[in-house]
Amino acid sequence: MGVYSGIAYDNVRALALRADNVSRGVPATKTASFTLANHESYIICNGAGAITVTLPAASLWPGREVMLRNIAAQAVNSASSNVVPLTGGAAGTTILSANAGRFVTLVSDGTNWIAMSGVI
């Protein structure tokens, strides 16, 4: 065990590991249009019709990640043209197509919500 500024190295490492594993909360299931809350990071969309998501302003949350999953064959769209698709290009409103099993991770770049991974 090493010493780092008077603190046992193993304790510093343990704290760093815990900081990297901070919980993002439990998934929230949405069945209708909604505004993403500050504490929500994982969203399961299960609407009987299309769902419109009001995302927070990307400028207020640079670096924030939001994961959305669609378990119903209904489209999931943003209320604003602020979602850049996986293929890049201009920001639009489409988050997920109207197919069950689609998912996406959106990350704010301070201007828009960028689709970083998923099956849209």
3-state SS of the chain is: CCEECCEEHHHHHHHHHHHHCCCCCCCEEECCCEECCCCCCEEEECCCCCEEEECCCHHHCCCCEEEEEECCCCCEEECCCCEECCCCCCCECEEECCCCCEEEEEEECCCCEEEEEEEC
5-22 tens-digit pLDDT: 554 545 544 444 444 556
CA dihedral 99, 103, 107, 113 (to 10 degrees): 0
pLDDT at 7: 47
From residue 118, alpha-carbon distances to 9, 10, 49, 55, 86 in Å are: 38, 36, 21, 18, 8
pLDDT at 48: 96
92-117 tens-digit pLDDT: 999 999 999 999 999 999 999 999 99
pLDDT at 88: 95
For the chain, give the mean pLDDT.
88
The closest of 11, 27, 31 to 19, measured between CA atoms, is: 11
The neighbour count for residue 11, using CB atoms within 10 Å, is 12
Its pTM stands at: 0.81
CA dihedral 78, 82, 88, 90 (to 10 degrees): 110
CA 80, 84, 87: angle at the middle one, nearest 5?
A: 150
